[in-house]
Copies of this chain bind each other. A is one copy, B any other.
């Protein structure tokens, strides 16, 4: 990490004077935060060419895997308030990546468009590359051990 985040949310990274933070460096929460920011920063940079932010990518993933869910369901599955999900989904609709089909007169089923499915395919490939890169850094069996440990924390 040198200069840092492409976007606001993922800053506080660079930080750190290798030492100087002696106590902080022993806290799991701090290490977790730095690692999360570092990985998200990589993600954001890598996905910039696709014009996808983490929330948009995960939204496409959920819709792709569960076509037909309504907005509230997709939002809930991602832990996003349905109120905040409106703008997100509007953006994807304007880009013709997602379309809505009326379920009844008050809700819509979400589906990927052809463009959306195509972009998601590219995004998956890109994400697979990132995962491979992370995997390499974690060493043999590292990712599996890490995932097991992380899942104990949520």
Which residues of A are at the interface with B, using a C-beta cutoff of 8 A?
Answer: 1, 11-17, 20-24, 26-40, 43, 54, 58, 61-62, 65-66, 76-81, 124, 127, 130-131, 134, 137-139, 142-143, 145-147, 149-154
Q: Give complex CA distance A62, B16 in Å.
A: 11
Whether the pair B154, A38 counts as a contact (CB closer than 8 A) is: yes
Q: Which one, B24, B34, B138, contacts A149 given CB within 8 A?
A: B138
Pairs across A and B, CB under 8 Å, 27 listed: A1-B154, A13-B154, A15-B79, A21-B61, A22-B65, A23-B124, A27-B131, A28-B138, A28-B146, A28-B147, A29-B39, A31-B146, A32-B32, A32-B39, A33-B36, A34-B150, A35-B150, A35-B151, A36-B36, A37-B154, A39-B153, A134-B153, A137-B152, A137-B153, A138-B153, A142-B149, A146-B146
